[in-house]
Amino acid sequence: MSKKVEDIFNFTETSDACIKCGKCIPVCTIHQINPDEVTSPRGFIDLLGAYKRGDLELNKTTKDIFESCFLCTNCVDVCPNSLPTDMVIEEVRADIAQEFGLPFFKKAAFYLLENRRVMDIVMKFGFMFKTCAFSNEKEKGGLKARFALPMVKQGRLIPSMMFRSFLNKYPANIPAKVPQEKPMRVAIFIGCLGNYNYGGIGDSLVEILKELNIDIFIPKKQLCCGAPAYFTGAVDSVERMTKANIEYFESFMDECDAMLIPEATCSAMVLHDWQTFFRNKEMPEWEARAKAVTQKIFMATAWLDEHTQLQALLKERGAKCSEKVTYHDPCHAKKVQGISQQPRNLLAPNYPLVEMSDPDRCCGFGGVTMQTEKFHFAEAAGKPKAAMIEETQATYVSAECSACRVQISQSLNENDSEVVFKHPLELVAHAIRTYKKR
């Protein structure tokens, strides 16, 4: 990034720095499905500059425009001036939330993410009564709406629900299988979808760490990383959750060699956006604490590939599986964290990998607003991604992002595709498990 973070939020300077070259246009996710100059990166930046100068009113029209960005960061990748369009849009969404307020369902969602015990109860009730409104599509890894619901059309595939969350399923401490004098100790930050919906992610990570003979610590008081609230502009919720997590992490991080996050969005939020958030809020003490606490935090696939002997173990104790796998690069993994090859390295020893035509293309998840009020945009963005996945004739599509999983699974469901989404850790654990059974 060529600009300093403190300069990014001077929207006028960022707007003036845009040379209107148009390189961002072909790669912009929203412009690909809604080809209007207004909903293009340079259009967003120009309007933001006018807004901050007082030349543009923040009304329902401009609100609608600024909420149409998928925050995929494709434009940042190709911008000759590295203008952080996604970051300035995240900032203006805080103004939108303050001006217009949040819809009740967003307030309810963020309340639940802040209050883990209440969320546990709600998810248990959801698990018990889910068949009233949804059919269980086990092979597709989700629930399909039996009839039209508020913001959920009939036939839409949503994440499944677990009766017992990952954090409640396991003890806080899981010792290494073989006692060691100084065993490596690793903590797990699971992410909300992994905690409540996609149980195979956490189960697989635990299984892999056990196979590597690593002590596991599961911090029970962890909260949401704050990403859904951050991308929606609910800054008060972000501040409360982030501060609570930092204080909690500080209490045990010295006793751990690493904390692993199996989710791209969560790890990007923790490693990148926490510091940006506090810098913009002019909280230097919390910015410094966020930076310090993240020194041992890693995205799980990257750490397993770079800091363990997992590749060698997979070659030795992993089954050669015939099912083809195609890998999707999540925006928050490759573009924000530079993580792309590591998950492929872990899959390659046991699965035939076939690349789709554009693994970098955004799947179209886009956040809470895009998945609810603007789902028609998410649907349109998901269709090309589903098509290129199907063209590979793979059995599985894989990525370490449960948000991508929600979106891609639904896009494939729309096409009645047989391709199934699996997290790389699920596939790695499956290869180890299959070898043991033989």
Domain of residue 90, CATH code: 1.10.1060.10
Give the pair of three-digit tokens for residue 425.
């850790």
Last-in-domain residue among 60, 82, 100: 100
Task: pLDDT band for 12, please (50, 70, 90 cuts).
Answer: low
Q: What pTM, to 2 d.p., does this model score?
A: 0.93
What is the reported pLDDT for 178? 87
Non-local CB neighbours of 414 within 8 Å, separated by 6+ positions: 379, 382, 383, 386
Last-in-domain residue among 67, 100, 133: 100
Contact 144, 413 (CB under 8 A): yes
In percent, the amount of the chain with pLDDT more than 70 equals 97
Give tens-digit pLDDT for 375-402: 999 999 999 999 999 999 999 999 999 9
> Could you give the C-alpha distances from 396 to 101, 347, 349, 400, in angstroms and in order?
40, 11, 16, 13
* Cα–Cα–Cα angle for 330, 193, 147, rounded to 5 degrees: 100
> Could you give the C-alpha distances from 96 to 64, 66, 79, in angstroms and in order?
10, 9, 26
Specify the range with the lowest mean pLDDT, choosing from 105-114, 132-141, 221-230.
132-141
CATH code assigned at 415: 3.40.50
54 part of a folded domain: yes
Helix ranges (DSSP H) in 255-392? 264-268, 274-280, 284-293, 300-307, 310-317, 336-337, 341-347, 368-371, 375-391
Query: What is residue 98's three-state secondary structure?
Result: helix
Give tens-digit pLDDT for 30-53: 999 999 999 999 999 899 889 888
372 part of a folded domain: yes
Range of the domain at 398: 316-437
326 part of a folded domain: yes
Task: pLDDT band for 3, please (50, 70, 90 cuts).
Answer: very low
67 part of a folded domain: yes
142 part of a folded domain: no
Last-in-domain residue among 46, 72, 100: 100
3-state secondary structure labels for all residues of 262-302: CCHHHHHHHHHHHHHHHHHCCCHHHHHHHHHHHHHEEEHHH
Give the mean pLDDT of the chain. Answer: 92
279 part of a folded domain: no
* Count of domains observed in the chain: 2
Task: Give the whole-angstrom CA distance, residue 299 versus residue 334.
Answer: 11
Q: Tokens 């990166």, residue?
A: 41
296 part of a folded domain: no
Contact 281, 320 (CB under 8 A): no
Contact 57, 3 (CB under 8 A): no
Task: pLDDT band for 10, please (50, 70, 90 cuts).
Answer: low
Q: Residue count of the chain, please give it.
A: 438
193 part of a folded domain: no
